[in-house]
Amino acid sequence: MQKKALWSGRFAGSTAEKMQQFSQSLDTDWSFFREDIAGSRAHGAMLFKMGLLSKEEQEKIDHALWEIEQEIEKGEFEPDIALEDVHMNIESRLIEKLGPMGAKIHTGRSRNDQVATDYRLFMKKRIHEVLRQQKSLLESLLKRAESDIDIILPGFTHLQHAQPISLGHFWMAYFWKYSRDLTRMMTAFDQTDQNPLGAGALAGTTLPIDRHCTAQALGFSSVTENSLDTVSDRDYLLEFLFASSTFMLHVSRLCEDLILWNTQEFDFIELPDGYCTGSSMMPNKKNPDALELMRGKTSGVVASMQDLMMNLKGLPLTYNRDLQEDKRPVFLTLKTMGEVLGILPDLLGGVQMKPDSIQPHLEKGFLLATDVAEYLVSKGVPFRETHHIVGQVVQYCLAEKKDFQDLSLEEWRQFNASVEKDLLPLLNVEAAVDRRKSFGGTARSDVKRQIEAGWSVLARLT
């Protein structure tokens, strides 16, 4: 016999089967069964405190909810699609076990604040796990920066050789990006950590309830301020999706750097075999599949943020059934974040640098041009003039098939009489790197400072 929806009293006819299939949310919100039961148990305890349940009623309801959770865990309780969602299925089962007493659990609440409570509890757990994994990624980057600080490689703008940098400086660039991502994720957690239970359908309730009591029981740090805002609010999910999208954009950029470095043309690195695959036809291939997949999965996360934003666009207050569709984009993002954060630290730890292959690249592109320009500035030549002078030197070198290190002092002085012998020792990449001591620069002394600061940041986050 088909179960009736708990809201069916208003209706003479039953819901069309196609409508049941179309409107059900069990394929997503059944994931909330633990949170739903925890919310109901806290709600029942509060109802007893406020005199809306007797001690006996509260204890029986609490025990029955515990039993239902065990039934679900053991696979003994299958949800009924006719009851639409996790909330109605659990409440219906409670009524089956306790009769009219079980129906008292919905006193002073609505599915609108109930689902908001479940979702926030669910997201707090998931964000906490994401934060743990993000900290692991930050640690892996700090370790790489420490081990690779003495490796010098070209830095790029426009994918053209620009200036020499310490590889430790490169890893720290991504450390700081990911540390901001972690901060954004912490903000998303804080926005999620507010108790919506007791906001009701939209306007609160005339019954005496204590929302701070349920907040404390459920581990929320605060209580939402406005019932209309509470049941319509999905900002905390947008915060999570934005933090995740920004993180994935940074992942995609790092993947692209490593994919380029892994090419035969660059040949800076060797990727770990465990995160690469071969070709079904070409036996010579070692493809950077993990990096490419992470780069590709970024689009799904960014699209998920856009999905929820478009869902919310133009919705009137307060609850609308559109909001039922808020779970799929978030669940996809949670899955992707877990997968990426589960792989990326280990992959980074397994990257092998190839200093011998990097060395020829340090001799291309006149990486020390800016150093020469700044040397001339130290001799009193205005920078715009030095820029022009060094540009002429580059033209000369190209015509003569020489590099800066090949030029004699006399050749240098053809372009500007300020050049002295003290320029020549500066024309090597190690000196160029270590002379960039401006705060945040690539000098190895400053990279060490950054690494120390990074460990301090990580210590504060744990």
Q: Is residue 23 scored above 90 in pLDDT?
A: no
Q: Is residue 157 part of a domain?
A: no
Which one, of 412, 409, 404, lies nearest residue 363 by Cα? 404
Q: Is residue 184 part of a domain?
A: yes
Looking up residue 397, the CATH number of its domain turns out to be 1.10.40.30
Query: 279, 299, 445, 456: which one is catalytic?
Result: 279
Q: How confident is the model at residue 461 (pLDDT cuts 50, 70, 90)?
A: confident
The DSSP annotation for 159-187 comes to: TEEEEEEEHHHHHHHHHHHHHHHHHHHHH
Q: Is residue 344 part of a domain?
A: yes
pLDDT tens for each residue of 60-117 = 999 999 999 999 999 999 999 989 899 999 999 999 999 999 999 999 999 999 999 9
Looking up residue 63, the CATH number of its domain turns out to be 1.10.275.10
State whether 77 and 123 are in the same domain: no
Q: How confident is the model at residue 13 (pLDDT cuts 50, 70, 90)?
A: low
Position 24 scores a pLDDT of: 79
Residues near 195 by beta carbon (within 8 Å), at least 6 away in sequence: 117, 120, 211, 212, 214, 215, 218, 220, 222, 223, 224
- Catalytic annotation on 158? yes
State whether 286 and 371 are in the same domain: no
Structure tokens at 14: 């039953």
Rounded Cα distance between 364 and 410, Å, is 23
The DSSP annotation for 271-282 comes to: --GGG-B--SS-
Determine the 3-state secondary structure of 222 from DSSP.
Answer: strand
**Average of pLDDT values for 272-295?**
94
Rounded Cα distance between 434 and 150, Å, is 10
Point out which residues pair with 352 in neighbouring strands.
270
State whether 365 and 350 are in the same domain: no
**Average of pLDDT values for 380-384?**
94
> Which amino acid is it at 233?
D
Q: Is residue 7 scored above 80 in pLDDT?
A: no
State whether 348 and 369 are in the same domain: no
Which one, of 88, 84, 119, lies nearest residue 103 by Cα? 88
Cβ–Cβ under 8 Å, residues 238 and 186 = no
Q: Is residue 11 scored above 90 in pLDDT?
A: no
How many domains does one find in the chain? 3
State whether 330 and 187 are in the same domain: yes
Q: Is residue 66 part of a domain?
A: yes
Rounded Cα distance between 177 and 363, Å, is 30
State whether 142 and 248 are in the same domain: yes
State whether 400 and 345 are in the same domain: no
Rounded Cα distance between 299 and 244, Å, is 11
**Average of pLDDT values for 252-256?**
98
Q: Is residue 238 scored above 90 in pLDDT?
A: yes
pLDDT tens for each residue of 350-381 = 999 999 999 999 999 899 999 999 999 999 99
Average pLDDT of the chain is 95
Q: Is residue 274 part of a domain?
A: yes
Position 21 scores a pLDDT of: 72
Position 66 scores a pLDDT of: 98
Position 279 scores a pLDDT of: 87
Q: Is residue 2 scored above 60 in pLDDT?
A: no
CA-CA-CA-CA torsion sign (254, 256, 258, 260): negative
Domain range for residue 177? Answer: 112-148+166-354
State whether 416 and 334 are in the same domain: no
State whether 344 and 391 are in the same domain: no
Looking up residue 207, the CATH number of its domain turns out to be 1.20.200.10
State whether 52 and 125 are in the same domain: no
Position 1 scores a pLDDT of: 46
- Catalytic annotation on 279? yes
Q: How confident is the model at residue 12 (pLDDT cuts 50, 70, 90)?
A: low
pLDDT tens for each residue of 52-74 = 999 999 999 999 999 999 999 99
Q: Which residue has the higher pLDDT, 281 or 124?
A: 124
Residues near 244 by beta carbon (within 8 Å), at least 6 away in sequence: 130, 185, 301, 304, 305, 333, 336, 337
Q: Is residue 2 part of a domain?
A: no
Pairing of strands 222-223, 269-270: unpaired
Determine the 3-state secondary structure of 71 from DSSP.
Answer: helix
The pTM (predicted TM-score) of the whole model is 0.93
**Average of pLDDT values for 105-132?**
98
Region of poorest pLDDT, from 3-17, 127-141, 286-300, 385-399 = 3-17
Determine the 3-state secondary structure of 224 from DSSP.
Answer: coil
State whether 98 and 119 are in the same domain: no
Q: Is residue 290 part of a domain?
A: yes
Q: Is residue 19 scored above 80 in pLDDT?
A: no
Q: Which of these three, 329, 354, 379, is where a domain ends?
A: 354
State whether 366 and 264 are in the same domain: no
Q: Is residue 185 part of a domain?
A: yes
